[in-house]
Structure 1
């Protein structure tokens, strides 16, 4: 049920129009909707495992199972395929503009499905850039160019950035849980952990979790792909087709992206009450 909607039901109509154009295993299916006065209801297929954020941030640790690295890896590939479909597989390109763990639903087999198209924009596939009158998205996942045109023009690469931020959160899920239990959040966590692990080639995961060789490769791959996706300049980011290729390929074929230079840090805000971490590109040293 939508309790708040911009304009005269603009987000609601936009979501119905966008989702009705899709048909993909990694995009949630809209079964129906109701629009009666101020009452707005969307009826989706039932997702028994809820949304991805429940497993990354574990709001109820005792009742939420811990996902293994292979499962997280398969979830990341599924989300990437869903985004690739929205960008290239539809007869009209759909830019989501609100990719985050809260908007990724999981079915009984933990197959991920992209949901919540209230902020989506439709554009012809031949058009690579779009114009926007206002910032769209969630703080922490918004690409730099969406709120500052100095970085470049808004395009499908903005979704790539959001996906990258989410991918890094998935890699750091266990550390997120530990941080959430403390009184103070560590703003240095992401840059310190990511580059320290990549430099040392360690086989320890977040929270000093011992990893097998296969799990270590999965963590490294997701990390490196995430770093490519959050490059500040849109042209430096891969397309979602390339992201799928990188995730499904071998770690040996991936290179760590060059050090980005930013004048201000990019903050990753988890909840309104908890700032889990910050990606501060200006402090990154490879």
Structure 2
């Protein structure tokens, strides 16, 4: 039935009722009303039948299709979630490269960035223009424990102050680690200059770097699912990107441990002479924990403040050979005299030194946590209490060990 037929139908009914209502043909008003009611009932019945037919042949299939589509969506949605998760994991997790791919990435090891006991580092590119640093590990890396530590720890970390591991290579005797490229190299290139006027980084920038490194360490200790102890915090392992944003690197000595456990068990001392915590040399000083990294961070702060290594054997004044001891005595005199101007130490250097001295307390229990260190670095220097003096003189147990060792930043591995 077309629209035209429907119009004709209602037009006929209208004419019929009009005829009954006309006085010339009307026999009874009752007949008119009966006819009108019958027509209305028939029209309503017809309308219901039409709606039923439309529902049967149009709405019913639409409902069935909607139901099937909904169930299909419910079936596909979990698959999409899993696929999306896997894609994200692939993007976040380090990629495995073949040795031929490493050759391509580094343009056949064309540009060498550095050399160390671990091997050589080369500049490379992936995906066209993304710069990376490729660390080719030498055969001296042993049974691969350092390699496993690096991939298993840094591979799951994503923090602005921790260097990103992009990928790795294990093929035959070849082992390589691919990191994001850090344009400005390591921090040690910029801080070891006792002449403050010639420093490339001013104290404001050094304080900013110190805060960022502290945030990275706090994340390692408390922000990951498993706590991560770095065990080798030193200027050489703090890398700087093109904006001089610091990132903690080199997790070859790192160790995972449950965050709820304060005691960490290791079979050998690990770290670098001059930055290694006393308890890593002898358990008589205390238990190994995240406070061992706090100690190393404190030594890093002392480097940044003083501009020279802890045992600068070339120092003109023998009293300045061990900078933490020398600066402690100087700060103590400043605290007593309250006349800071005559000592030529600005507030930012004082802050770094005070926080650093708090971090290098001999007993781990006396050191602050990294979150407390951050609060101290944010605070006003005059609000910071002068910490107790740690063992510094060569007659003390810890210092006698330090002064008898070579300060060439060699890594320490002593069986305990």
TM-score greater than 0.5 by the shorter chain: yes
Post-superposition CA distance 1:174-199 (Å, at most 9, x none): x55xx687689752443123321442
Correspondence list, 1:44-63, <5 A = 44-57=179-192
TM-score by length of 2: 0.58
- 1:221 maps to which residue? 351
Give the structure 1 partner of residue 376 of structure 2. 246
Q: Residue in 2 aligned with 1:282?
A: none
Q: Distance in 2 between matches of 1:184 and 1:196?
A: 14
- Which one has the bigger helix percentage? 2
Deviations 1:147-180 (A, max 9, x none): 100001100000000000111011011x55xx68
User: Following the alignment from structure 2 to structure 1, what is the Cα–Cα distance between the partners of residues 313 and 286?
Assistant: 34
1:95 aligns with 2:233: no
CA gap of 1:232–1:180, structure 2 versus 1, over 3 A, is: closer
Provide the aligned length of Structure 1 versus Structure 2. Answer: 260
Aligned match of 2:158 in 11, 23, 32? 23
CA change 1:75–1:128 in 2 (3 A) is same
Contact 1:50 1:106 in 2 (8 A): yes
The reply to whether residue 272 of structure 1 matches residue 387 of structure 2 is no
CA distance in 2, matches of 1:199, 1:66: 29
- Mapped to 2, the partners of 1:108 and 1:102 lie a distance apart of 17
Choose the corresponding residue for 2:171, options 36, 40, 45.
36
Provide the rounded CA distance (Å) in 1 between the counterparts of 2:164 and 2:313: 33
> Would the aligned equivalents of 1:225 and 1:247 in 2 still touch at CA under 8 Å?
yes
Structure 1 residues 65 and 39, CA gap change in structure 2 (3 angstroms): farther
Q: Contact conserved, 1:140 with 1:270, CA < 8 A, in 2?
A: no
The structure whose RCO (Cα within 8 Å, separation 6+) is larger is 1
Are 1:231 and 1:237, in contact at CA under 8 Å, matched by a contact in 2? yes
- The answer to whether the 8 Å contact 1:5/1:12 transfers is no
For 1:253 and 1:202, the matched residues in 2 are separated by 15
Are residue 130 (structure 1) and residue 260 (structure 2) matched? no
Structure 1 residues 188 and 140 mapped into 2: Cα distance closer, same or farther (>3 Å)? closer
Tell whether the 8 Å contact from 1:198 to 1:220 is kept in structure 2 after alignment.
no
What SS does the aligned partner of 1:246 have? Answer: helix
1:145–1:182 CA distance, 2 compared to 1 (3 A): closer
Which residue matches 2:366? 236
1:191-206 maps to which residues of 2 (within 5 A)?
191-200=325-334, 202-203=340-341
Structure 1 unaligned spans of 5+: 275-286
Which sits farther off after the overlay, 183-192 or 240-249? 183-192
CA deviation vs aligned residue, 1:51-80 (integer Å, no higher than 9, x gap): 00111226xx9xx96110000000100110
RMSD value, Cα: 2.7
Structure 2: distance between partners of 1:181 and 1:140: 16
Match of residue 207, structure 2, among 62, 73, 83 = 73
For 1:259 and 1:169, the matched residues in 2 are separated by: 18
Give distance in 1, aligned partners of 2:140 and 2:409. Answer: 23
